[in-house]
Amino acid sequence: MTALQYIVDGIALGAVYALVAVGLALVFGVMRLVNFAHGELITAAAYTLYLTSSWPKVFACAISLLVAVGLALLMELVIFRRLRYATPATALVTTFAVAFALEAVWLIAFGPQGKSADVLSSLNRTATHGSLHIRWVTITMVGVGAVLLAGTGLLLNRTRIGLEMRAAAADFRAARLLGVRANRVIGTAFLLGGLFAGVVALLLTATQPLVTPTFGLQITILALVGVVVGGMDRLVSATLGGFAIGFVNSLLGDVLPSSQGVFLTSFLYLLVIVVLVLRPGGVFVPGGASARVERV
């Protein structure tokens, strides 16, 4: 394993984490809501992949994406719509409750044992180029991540709905007073979040086909940490934060000897605390070290 290998692997994992981060940040931007239950969208898509694993691959993937998007929109309609005017603390804890309730649903429906969703595991094959061994899945992660992130950028900057979303993220009430439809903007954020969660599920099952009730939880927690560390208030800094955490996670996982590897989680969390204390506005935000007016 060469240094280049580590870096490429890091970029791939970073790209996946970035996709989770974007989903979280889009919803946070328009609603000021941190959705702990985002990970359940990933788990839902992964279990759908398991259920459809005997179908033609294209259909299996498409249905899984649809389920993630559908669940996201359902969450918004049934639960989060009512939280729009609640205190941020209440909203936060509610998403926590939703996450646990959904996890219980997976537990009841599929049991604690993992289920195998190996629809895309063929991507795990290696392509060799000189001394570089790259798995197809790594290339796919980087490629898909880049395309989706670029697409999001285009959507936000060049389309009307994107403009409305950016305005709503800056000043929701003023945006509504101009005629921006709250439901449409929030719905779009959840739709994109769900879509990206589904894509993340597809990418993750390629390397880890075993789906358990906590499948999406771990990556979501870390991605959320990355978002906060990068800077929640802006999409770019939030996504960079997600990417950075994924990158560091992969790198440290490769570089640290396995005996110390078990404490990797602690290193990352410690990093989070250090960053939050020293630069609470976010690492990737200019002027992030200065105290902000607390929004939450």
Partner 1 sequence: MSDASPALAVSGLEVRYGGVAAVRDVSLEVGRGEIVGLVGPNGAGKSSTLMAIMGAVSPSAGDVLMGGRSIRGMRSEDIARSGIALVPEGRHIFSNLSVRENLRLGLVGRRESNGVAKDLDWIQTLFPVVKDFADRHAAALSGGQQQQLAIARALLAKPDILILDEPSLGLAPVVVQAVWEALAEINRQGVTILLVEQRAQITVSFCSRTYVMSNGQIRMTLTPGDADNTERMVSAYFAS
Partner 2 sequence: MRISRKSLLELGAPALLLVAVSVIASLVSVGSQQDFITALVNATIVIALWVFIGNSGVISFGHISFVALGAFAAGLMTIETIVKPNVMPDLFPFLQHHSVGNVPSLVLAALIGGIVALVLGAPLMRLSGLSASIATFAVLGITNNVLTYWEKIGPGAQTLSLVPETTGPFQALVGALIALVIAFAYQHSRSGRLLRAAREDPHAARAIGVRIERHRLVAFTISGALAGLAGGLLVHQIGSITTNQVYLDLTFLTLAMLVIGGASSLWGAVVGAVAVSLLDSFLSNAENGTDVIFFHLKIPNGGSLLILGILMALALLFRPNGLTGGREASLKSLVALGGRLPRLGKARHTV
With contact defined as beta carbons under 8 Å apart, do 28 and 83 qualify?
no
CB closer to partner 1, 152 vs 212: 152
Give Cα 113 distance to the centre of its chain.
24
Partner whose footprint covers residue 166, from partner 1, partner 2, none (CB < 5 to 8 Å by kind) = partner 1
Q: Can you give the length of the chain in residues?
A: 296
- Contact segment (CB under 8 A) with partner 2 among 118-126, 133-141, 201-209, 267-275 equals 267-275
Angle at 131 between CA 145 and CA 203, to 5 degrees: 25
86 binds partner 2 (CB under 8 A): yes
Does 164 interact with partner 1 (rule: CB under 8 A)? yes
Token readout for 163 is 């403009």
Q: How far apart are CA 62 and CA 113, in angstroms?
A: 25
Using the Cα atoms of residue 140, residue 143, residue 149 and residue 154 in order, give the sign of their dihedral: negative
CA distances from 216 to 36, 47, 103, 203 (A): 11, 11, 10, 12
Phi-psi region at 282: left, alpha or beta (left = phi > 0; alpha = psi -120 to 50): left
- Choose the binding region for partner 1 from 37-45, 146-154, 178-186, 196-204 (rule: CB under 8 A): 178-186
Considering beta carbons, is residue 92 or 167 the nearer one to partner 2? 92
Q: Which residue has the tokens 């996670």?
A: 249
Other Cβ atoms closer than 10 A to 166:
16
Residue 98 interacting with partner 2 (CB under 8 A): yes
CA dihedral 240, 242, 248, 249 (to 10 degrees): -170
State the binding partner of 177 from partner 1, partner 2, none, CB within 5 to 8 A by kind.
Answer: partner 1
> 3-31 and 217-230 are packed helices; what angle lies between their axes, rounded to 10 degrees?
80
State yes or no: residue 77 binds partner 1 (CB under 8 A): no
In the complex with partner 2, the residue whose CB is nearer, 112 or 179, is 112
Q: Does the protein bind partner 2 through residue 114 (CB under 8 A)?
A: no
Among 7, 73, 105, 255, indicate the residue that binds partner 2 (CB under 8 A): 105
Per-position x/- string for 198-227, each x denoting binding to partner 2 as judged by CB under 8 A, each - no binding: ---------------x-------x--xx--
By CB under 8 A, the residues from 251 to 280 that bind partner 1 are: none
For partner 2, which is the closer residue by CB, 178 or 270? 270
Q: Measure CA 175 to chain center.
A: 26
167 is a contact residue toward partner 2 (CB under 8 A): no
Whether 190 contacts 27, CB under 8 Å: yes
**174 sits near partner 1 (criterion: CB under 8 A):** yes
Q: State which of residues 110, 176, 207, 221 lies at the interface with partner 1 (CB under 8 A).
A: 176
The contact set with partner 2 (CB under 8 A) reads: 34, 79, 82-83, 85-90, 92-94, 96-108, 111-112, 213, 221, 224-225, 228, 232, 262-263, 265-266, 269-270, 272-273, 276-277, 280, 294-296
